Amino acid sequence: MTLQKVRLLCNSIFSALSPQRAYVGYYQNKNKNKNANRNKYGDKRRDRGGQKQQQPAHGERGNYTSIATENALYERFYKESNLLPEKEWDDFWGALKRTLPTTFRFTGSRGHALSTLKALQEIHIPHLQGITWDGQLVDPPKALPWYPDNLAWGMSIGKTTIRRCPPFKKFQNYLVAETTVGNISRQEAVSMIPPLLMDIEPHHVVLDMCAAPGSKTAQLVEMIHNGEEAAVSAAAAGPAQEDLTKDGEKGGRATGLVIANDADYKRSHMLIHQTKRLNSPNLIVTNHDATMYPSLLISDPKEENKQYLKYDRILADVPCTGDGTARKNYSVWKDWNPHSAFNLHAIQVRILVRGLQMLKVGGRMVYSTCSMNPIENEAVVQAAIDRCGGLDKVEIVDVNDRLPELKRRPGLKGGWRVMDKDQKWYSTFEEVLRDDEGKETRIGRITRSMFPTETDKSDDDPTRIPLERCVRVYPHLQDTGGFFITVLRKKEEIKAIKPEETKTQRIASLTKTSVEATPVPEDAVPVEETTLKTEVIPALKPDGGSTPPPSSPGKRKLESDSPAPAVKKVKADADPESVVPEASEAAITVPSVVIPAPIPASTETTKPFDFRGKDTKGKGPPPEEPFKFIPHDHEVLQRIYEFYGLSDRFPKTCFMVRNAECLPVRAIYFTSHLAKTILERNEGRGVKFVHCGVKAFMKQDVQSPEVCPWRIQSEGLSIVAPWIGPQRVVHATKRDTVHALLKELFPKVGGADEEQAKKEEDKKEGDAEESKQEEVVDDRKTIEEIDKQVRGLGMGCCILKVKKTEGEFSDDMILPLWKSRYSCNLMLPKDERKAMLLRLFNDTSEIRDSTNKNSHIYREANIAAKKARELEEARQRGEIPEEDADQVEAAEAEGKDEEMQE
Ligand SMILES: C[S@@+](CC[C@H](N)C(=O)[O-])C[C@H]1O[C@@H](n2cnc3c(N)ncnc32)[C@H](O)[C@@H]1O
């Protein structure tokens, strides 16, 4: 296995097992020196009084009773906020201090997820009931009652028990195996809620505005592909005329699209890793500031009446203080303060407003945070609805009847207060103004929109925003983190966005003088306004967007020691191409690209923080490789179609490569029609696309001209497999067949007659060494059910179709197979084989390699693998230019069979 592959595998295992830790890791790196003395929970093992903390038992999950889960201000804030009835306080606070149970979700298509779940329910759960360990009853994992189809589970058992207690140890092996191959994803329970309330259908165009690390994006993508397997199978089996959908996709494929975006360049790449395992051609990843997300062109750029993409569904899982994550995030206890939310409030409102602008009329937008603070929640919803023109334009959807088993509390109708940095409570903005006495210390950070506007309105006042329709989830209700969700529906097109109140205006109301009469130094303004003639997307530069994005807080946790952005005024540069055409638009005010510092003023520095994790003076990220679609009559595509007998109903126009010359040299990717339209129409407009397409075919060196050098890449298997002609398909139904293929590397095909013929041929050629090797006895058995079929196949890549049959398999399966001269081999990594053996056969024994590696059967693969290793080493020494890297990949592919054994 090459170093690069080892690195990639480690990364994906790491992020699959623990997306949250992957995120924390990124920030931990940034703060490496500062945190050098900290333990794995982020504390210094000392409480505030300097006492050494008690260490958790070796191997046990961090127990928050043993580290300082105390922050008097955090406690006071929520106690005095009166979010909950007094009698619930102890439960709430007690839950917040306990370690969060581990929760996980079965991923992939519904059918696939259900079959992985079946193994849990049938093989493991029966053995995990009524077990006592160290004299205590151990809780078995339990399905989260509110999650559909039992596809999400939780467990509170500690690691030591899992390791030592045999039934749990076996269960742990299953969890690790399935997580490694991406069938199970660890995700916090509350974080699974927002996508479930979005009502996504396979034709929807969905935008995930703040998507990294991508656990919710994964849910959205799965929803887009819901039912696709069955639809594609039916279409492939049915007549050609019936499967053309209105959106131009044929063959039952989902026509929708998910665009996942994150403003942080590094985190947008984390997003790619997280979603790659889904192998979706209906996904695009972008890297933009969501407050100014660009309008994407979908009409021909030359057309006069330009059309821009509008979304059926939008998720804004915005950056927030994350104070609902205290059960897993030690920094909340350490760093919480009331003013962290102040700067975030403005960004959150802008993200929500921008989302509502881009939403289709009738479309749904979900706003969520993992904070419990009303300033980041109800206040944001209220302000965004107001800025969009009120309840005529946007309504809050009542989702009380959804997920009936989910325990929740209604949003706050009003009455919340704002605590300033001196820990003083304010009920109205006017009180702040009065207190400020012209010193302008408070109003710089506290804005009018943070206060409730609906408190005094009666329930039947039609102008009252029904904030109680928002959803609050508290830790003690069902042993989760704290979370906030609101579902919004756009009722009418939003023609104008009401301006945010500027600091100038705030000061004007304070001093009771006119706005004009109150000059304010520009560099002291944390939030700017720019009045433009039309609704504008950010200035997109034709350089592919190398302009650094503006600063903003990273994830929900505020980085109190990150360098803060200098507050500066940025010109909102109206690109006429980027304007959303809206009839009768008068002057519309949009926020400029200035984003306030995410941290208290006292820690601000003048050095701008760059999302890319580099100083803005640095070079920035490398430009993304362009996305170029291959002409449908290209000879390479013709060869592929011919070799695999691909149906004419499979689209030839959606294959692309990642090089400016549009040359299929190494990998060919497949995308959906809509993704293609968006990539092509927005080329050169400065939209920062960082990912799209599923690797469908990879080039490799082949010895014989009749073998197609383009093998099907496992990522693209489920996309192309239904359309492959009979000449490259092997059929199986029996459990024994699949078991033998998984269990053994390179099982033999062909009878003794062919073996003998080969030996004689070798002898004739006088290959002494080869003859010597042939003397080694090859005692492998052929696999009866497929032996004849495989013998009849030409060499090269093919697929194994396993059909569900009574008493054998309950689900259909498709697996990649490679036919060599005298053997065949499933092209599956060892981890995947092991997971399947465990899932399908409850078999944990080692994979057999009864082959003689020196025999002629392996010679070709061994040579190729050696060549691949040498080339990779040379590349690492810098002896091979990157443009020749495809040779390395090809050699690797050739040696893939051999690699599977390593
Ligand atoms: C709460 S996290 C999102 C978690 C994600 N939805 C998930 O389920 O995995 C917020 C994300 O917003 C990103 N972010 C912060 N400011 C942003 C902005 N102005 N525009 C877009 N993304 C932003 C952060 O980099 C972070 O990845």
Q: 556 CB less than 6 Å from ligand 1? A: yes
* More reliable by pLDDT, 532 or 182: 182
pLDDT band at 387 (very low <50, low <70, confident <90, very high): very high
**pLDDT tens figures, 188-203:** 999 999 999 999 999 9
Query: What distance lies between CA 161 and its chain's CA centroid?
Result: 31
pLDDT at site 356:
98
- How far apart are the C-alpha atoms of 730 and 725, rounded to whole Å? 11
- 289 marked among binding-site residues: yes
How far, in Å, is the centroid of ligand 1 from the Cα of 554? 7
- 545 marked among binding-site residues: no
Q: Name which of 446-460, 831-845, 880-894 the model is least confident about.
A: 880-894
Q: What is the longest distance spanned by two Cα atoms in the chain?
A: 105
Counting from 1 in the atom list of ligand 1, the atom nearest the Cα of 552 is 16
H helix intervals, 768-851:
768-774, 784-791, 830-841
pLDDT at site 536:
31
Residue 284 DSSP SS3: strand
The full 3-state SS of 234-282, as one line of letters, equals HHHHCCHHHHCCCCCCCCCCCCCEEEEECCCHHHHHHHHHHHHCCCCCC
Q: Which H or E element spans position 898?
A: helix 896-899
How far, in Å, is the centroid of ligand 1 from the Cα of 212? 6
Contacts of 768 (CB under 8 A, 6+ apart): none
Tokens read off for 302: 């030359």
Tokens read off for 636: 């390479």
Counting from 1 in the atom list of ligand 1, the atom nearest the Cα of 213 is 9
pLDDT at site 617:
46
Q: 559 CB less than 6 Å from ligand 1? A: no
Q: What is the number of residues in the chain?
A: 902
**Which amino acid is present at 730?**
V
Q: What's the rounded mean pLDDT across residues 524-532?
A: 27
How far, in Å, is the centroid of ligand 1 from the Cα of 549? 14
Tokens read off for 730: 């092997």
What does residue 404 show for φ and ψ, rounded to 5 degrees? -55, -25
What does residue 619 show for φ and ψ, rounded to 5 degrees? -75, -25
Q: Which H or E element spans position 710?
A: strand 710-712
370 is catalytic: yes
Residues 627 and 284 sit within 8 Å (Cβ to Cβ)? no
- Among 165, 320, 370, 708, the one annotated catalytic: 370
What does residue 776 show for φ and ψ, rounded to 5 degrees? -70, 135
pTM: 0.77
Query: 364 has which bridge partners?
Result: 313, 489
pLDDT band at 209 (very low <50, low <70, confident <90, very high): very high
| pLDDT(153) > 50 | yes
How many DSSP H helices and E strands does the chain contain? 28, 29
| pLDDT(600) > 70 | no
- How far apart are the C-alpha atoms of 641 and 663, rounded to whole Å? 17
**pLDDT tens figures, 392-441:** 999 999 999 999 999 999 999 999 999 998 899 999 999 998 887 766 66
Tokens read off for 477: 């209700």
pLDDT at site 322:
97
pLDDT at site 705:
85
Q: What angle do the packed helices 110-119 and 228-237 form, to 10 degrees?
A: 120
* More reliable by pLDDT, 60 or 334: 334
102-106 sheet: strands from edge to edge: 142-143, 152-155, 102-106, 184-186
Q: Name which of 11-25, 311-325, 507-521, 741-755 the model is least confident about.
A: 11-25
Q: What angle do the packed helices 3-17 and 166-180 form, to 10 degrees?
A: 120
pLDDT band at 510 (very low <50, low <70, confident <90, very high): low
pLDDT more than 90, % of the chain: 47
Q: Is the peptide bond before 664 cis (omega within 30 degrees of 0)?
A: no
pLDDT more than 70, % of the chain: 68
Contacts of 384 (CB under 8 A, 6+ apart): 349, 352, 353, 356, 367, 394
What does residue 304 show for φ and ψ, rounded to 5 degrees? -75, -45
Angstrom distances, CA of residue 464 to CA of 382, 443, 455, 485, 715:
10, 26, 9, 19, 50
- How far apart are the C-alpha atoms of 220 and 310, rounded to whole Å? 17
pLDDT band at 506 (very low <50, low <70, confident <90, very high): low
What does residue 317 show for φ and ψ, rounded to 5 degrees? -95, 80
pLDDT at site 769:
47
Q: 836 CB less than 6 Å from ligand 1? A: no
Q: 194 CB less than 6 Å from ligand 1? A: no
Q: What's the rounded mean pLDDT across residues 316-335?
A: 95
Q: Which H or E element spans position 670?
A: strand 667-670
**Which amino acid is present at 418?**
V
Strand 418-419 and strand 409-410: the pairing is unpaired
- How far apart are the C-alpha atoms of 95 and 528, rounded to whole Å? 41
Q: 219 CB less than 6 Å from ligand 1? A: no
Atom 9, ligand 1: residue with shortest CA distance = 214
DSSP percent split of the chain into helix, strand, coil, nearest 5: 35, 15, 50
| pLDDT(751) > 50 | yes
pLDDT band at 487 (very low <50, low <70, confident <90, very high): very high
Q: 535 CB less than 6 Å from ligand 1? A: no
How far, in Å, is the centroid of ligand 1 from the Cα of 316? 8
Counting from 1 in the atom list of ligand 1, the atom nearest the Cα of 212 is 27
ipTM (interface predicted TM): 1.00
How far, in Å, is the centroid of ligand 1 from the Cα of 70? 27
- 214 marked among binding-site residues: yes
pLDDT at site 772:
45
* More reliable by pLDDT, 808 or 151: 151
How far, in Å, is the centroid of ligand 1 from the Cα of 592? 19
Q: Name which of 108-112, 155-159, 222-226 the model is least confident about.
A: 108-112
Residue 360 DSSP SS3: strand
pLDDT band at 883 (very low <50, low <70, confident <90, very high): very low
Q: What's the rounded mean pLDDT across residues 849-863?
A: 51
Most confident of 149-158, 678-687, 785-794: 678-687
- How far apart are the C-alpha atoms of 677 and 673, rounded to whole Å? 6
- How far apart are the C-alpha atoms of 376 and 351, rounded to whole Å? 12
Q: 212 CB less than 6 Å from ligand 1? A: yes
Q: 191 CB less than 6 Å from ligand 1? A: yes
- How far apart are the C-alpha atoms of 16 and 24, rounded to whole Å? 14
- How far apart are the C-alpha atoms of 574 and 579, rounded to whole Å? 8
How far, in Å, is the centroid of ligand 1 from the Cα of 189? 18
Q: What is the pLDDT of the chain when averaged over all its residues?
A: 76
Counting from 1 in the atom list of ligand 1, the atom nearest the Cα of 290 is 20
pLDDT band at 240 (very low <50, low <70, confident <90, very high): low
Exposure b/e, 856-884, CB count within 10 A at least 16 = b: bbbebbeebbebbbebbeebeeeebeeee
The CA dihedral of 627, 631, 635, 641, to the nearest 10 degrees, is: 90
- How far apart are the C-alpha atoms of 113 and 153, rounded to whole Å? 13
- How far apart are the C-alpha atoms of 571 and 549, rounded to whole Å? 13
Contacts of 868 (CB under 8 A, 6+ apart): 2, 888, 891, 892, 894, 895
Angstrom distances, CA of residue 120 to CA of 16, 143, 192, 817, 852:
18, 11, 20, 28, 37
Query: Among 21, 207, 216, 264, which residue has the most ligand 1 atoms within 8 Å of its CB, making it the best to mutate?
Result: 264
Region for residue 130 given its phi and psi (left: phi exceeds 0; alpha: psi -120 to 50; beta: otherwise): left
| pLDDT(553) > 50 | no
- How far apart are the C-alpha atoms of 27 and 30, rounded to whole Å? 5
pLDDT at site 251:
84
Q: What's the rounded mean pLDDT across residues 824-833?
A: 87
- How far apart are the C-alpha atoms of 755 and 560, rounded to whole Å? 70
Q: 558 CB less than 6 Å from ligand 1? A: no
How far, in Å, is the centroid of ligand 1 from the Cα of 319? 5
| pLDDT(608) > 90 | no
Q: What's the rounded mean pLDDT across residues 118-124?
A: 87
* More reliable by pLDDT, 14 or 445: 445
Radius of gyration of the chain (CA): 30
Q: 443 CB less than 6 Å from ligand 1? A: no
- How far apart are the C-alpha atoms of 34 and 518, rounded to whole Å? 43
Q: What's the rounded mean pLDDT across residues 28-39?
A: 35
Strand 655-657 and strand 667-670: the pairing is antiparallel
- How far apart are the C-alpha atoms of 429 and 416, rounded to whole Å? 12
* More reliable by pLDDT, 832 or 327: 327
Q: 799 CB less than 6 Å from ligand 1? A: no
- 803 marked among binding-site residues: no
pLDDT at site 648:
87
| pLDDT(50) > 80 | no
How would you class 545 by CB atoms within 10 Å of its CB: exposed for 0-12, middle for 13-18, buried for 19 or more? Answer: buried
**pLDDT tens figures, 261-308:** 999 999 999 999 889 889 999 999 999 999 999 999 999 988 999 999
Atom 12, ligand 1: residue with shortest CA distance = 210
Q: 213 CB less than 6 Å from ligand 1? A: yes
pLDDT band at 493 (very low <50, low <70, confident <90, very high): very high
| pLDDT(779) > 80 | no
